[in-house]
Structure 1
Amino acid sequence: MAEKKVVSIEDRIPQLKQLRKRKANRRFFTYLTLIILLILVIVYLQSPLSHISNIEVQNNRVISDDEVVELSGLSTNQSFWSINRDEVISSVESHQEISDVTMKRSWYNKVTLQVNEFTRVGYVKTSNLFNPILENGQVLKDTELKVPKGDAPVLHGFSNEDKLLTRLTQQLANLDSAVVSLISEVYSDPTETNQDRIRLYTTDGQEVIASIHNFEEKMSLYPSIASQVAPDLEGVLYIDVGAYFKPYDTSDEVEIEAESQEN
């Protein structure tokens, strides 16, 4: 049987001291590292390095970058870590032409605001100024333009409180944007039998008679209807009831096929 080795207490004391010293050193360096990191964090947060470095605005068409940034309340003098996302979004969405906004933060200290605007579907002329109308039917009474931007038709003969204007706006909002872009002007042109009647002029030179109650349905067929009119003919295209063309120089009516054409 092997004899068990006995280590005296005198031999073990130096080893215990060395072990305790190593543990103390590790603890010291751990605390020192934490203190240094804490100091660096405090210095960083108090320095310009923690400020927003760039604010980018995307998707906006009508509202300027500067206006969106001003609405957000953000600035490059502000700490990147003090941003309140909910407050920023709420502030930007308070603008009547903005439907919603998304805020993204990315390294290095960059903030991106992705803005979705309500589409302008028309400009109603009041006196010599023009008020934009949004797809949600809201007339921007505080926005008065001397010249409309050309991104939507000009509406004549309607008042801001006109129910016909509200109905027409809804029809324009539902209509394909490619078709809306063909309309340059719309005039209220009621008759005794049809208070909904409107007269419009298109960018391809057509004068068109239509009705508000079925405007979206009829105008969606306009490209195929207009293509059946000879380019050299001048007259009025009626799409309020059925579809026919009446030249200016004759009382004859040319009936037109109003069925949609599938590709």
Structure 2
Amino acid sequence: MPVLREERKRSRGSRKLLFFLLLLFVTLLAVLFFRSSLSKIAQIEIAGNTALTAEEIGQASGISNGHNFFGFRSATVEQRVKQLQAVESVEVRKKFPGSIRITVREYPRVAFQIRPTGEKEMLLSNGLAVPVTDKNIVVDKPILSGWDEGNTWKLKLCETLRKIPDKTLSEISEIKPSPTKTYEDKIKMYTRSQFEVYTTVTYLPDKILYLEEMIEQMADKEVDSGVFELLEANTHIPFEQYYGKPDAQKNGQKTDAKDTQKKGN
């Protein structure tokens, strides 16, 4: 019996030693792994940005090549990047070993404006003005001119322009404020087909849908210019009549485009 007890003690001691050596080996491997390049960020890919530069997004993320791949949560980086005013949403994905992909969705570009200094800026749908650094960028959206920085209708206009299809919006070359006592949000738009359009920011989403049809109706009548008033009614008035007579609106030509807009403010 004493011999059996001694064998059991040796067996238990061997298992403890084996466990200790295994734990030491795993710890050593962990230390070597976290000190190796495999645990570091080797590549950061940024996609979806047009208004912001990759450098701006990378700086906002708070991570860079060489940082610990496991030392941060994707949600934390997303919250940091989301603080940028031009970013509407962001997604961060990790791919082992060492690859990070940051995909941003910016507020869409809806217009441009030109500063008094001549610098061009793009306007996003949230009203943010972003300097244009690419000299070859195509001005495929309206230019907003004559707007004060503090004009609340300018922000509302940017939000409204987002709702308009790109094809329709590309027909508008410039938009100016033209407020009256009746319509404080009245605007004047210039089309690329040589028409002028008066409407309001409030009416715009509905009225703009009729513009293409109305221009086509004028082309059928061999009329290639004039003023469209898209207010309670949709009316076409020749330039000389609109700007030459105070009562020009009364003598204007109503188009056949449907008009379901309710009377505004």
Q: Smaller-chain TM-score range?
A: 0.7 to 0.9
Letter in structure 2 aligned against 1:28: L
Cα RMSD of the aligned pairs, angstroms, is: 3.4
**CA separation of 1:24 and 1:186: change in aligned 2, threshold 3 A:** same
1:201 is paired with a residue whose SS is strand
Residue by residue over 1:87-107, the C-alpha shift from the partner in whole angstroms, topping out at 9 and shown as x without a partner, is 533332222211232222222
**Structure 1 residues 18 and 222 mapped into 2: Cα distance closer, same or farther (>3 Å)?**
farther
Give yes or no for the alignment of 1:129 onto 2:113. Answer: no
SS of residue in 2 equivalent to 1:174: coil
Correspondence 1:233 to 2:232: no
Alignment check: 8 A CA contact 1:235 1:245 kept: no
Matched with 2:248 is: none
- What's the counterpart of residue 154 of structure 2? 165
Residue 80 of structure 1 corresponds to 69
Q: Using the alignment, how far apart are the partners of 2:169 and 2:58 within structure 1?
A: 31
Give the conservation status (yes or no) of the 8 Å contact 1:245–1:256. yes
What is the percentage of aligned positions where both structures have the same residue? 20
Matches within 5 A, 1:20-169: 21-85=10-74, 87-127=76-116, 128-139=118-129, 143=131, 150-169=139-158
| Corresponding letter in the other structure for 2:122 | P
- Helix, strand or coil at the partner of 1:220: helix
Q: Could you tell me which runs of 5 or more consecutive residues in structure 2 were left unpaired when the two chains were aligned.
A: 243-250, 260-265
Matched, 1:258 2:263: no
Listed one character per residue, the Cα deviations across residues 40-62 of structure 1 (whole Å, up to 9, x for unaligned) are 10111122221012212232232
Aligned residue pairs total: 247
Letter in 1 for 2:85: Q
Q: Which amino acid aligns with 1:257?
A: D
* 1:154-233 correspondence to structure 2 within 5 Å: 154-190=143-179, 196-203=185-192, 205-212=193-200, 213-230=202-219, 233=223
Give the letter for the 1:227 counterpart.
E
Contact 1:153 1:180 (8 Å CA) reproduced: yes
CA distance in 2, matches of 1:217, 1:97: 27
Q: Tell me by how many angstroms 1:235 deviates.
A: 0.7
